[in-house]
């Protein structure tokens, strides 16, 4: 419901940083991966993704 509300307010596109776990959720909603990145949290490397959805 939160994604639906955000996408309803957007005029051009929505961008998010999605974890490896959240990536399939956003992909199913029509988001595409822009860039994969590795971020370090307390010295631990974690993979996440910049994803975007173009609003028509």
| 16-37 average pLDDT score | 96
What integer best gives the mean pLDDT of the chain? Answer: 95
Helix H or strand E encompassing 25: helix 23-28
Phi, psi (deg, nearest 5) at residue 31: -80, 150
Residue 56 has pLDDT above 90, yes or no: no
The radius of gyration of the chain's CA atoms, rounded to the nearest angstrom, is 12
pLDDT value, residue 55: 93
Residue 44 has pLDDT above 90, yes or no: yes
Residue 2 has pLDDT above 90, yes or no: yes
């Amino acid at each position: 419901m939160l994604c639906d509300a955000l996408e309803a307010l957007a005029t051009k596109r929505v961008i998010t940083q999605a974890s490896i776990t959240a990536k399939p959720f956003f992909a199913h909603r029509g988001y595409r991966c822009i860039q994969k990145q590795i971020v370090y949290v307390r010295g631990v490397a974690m993979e996440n993704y910049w994803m975007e959805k173009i609003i028509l």
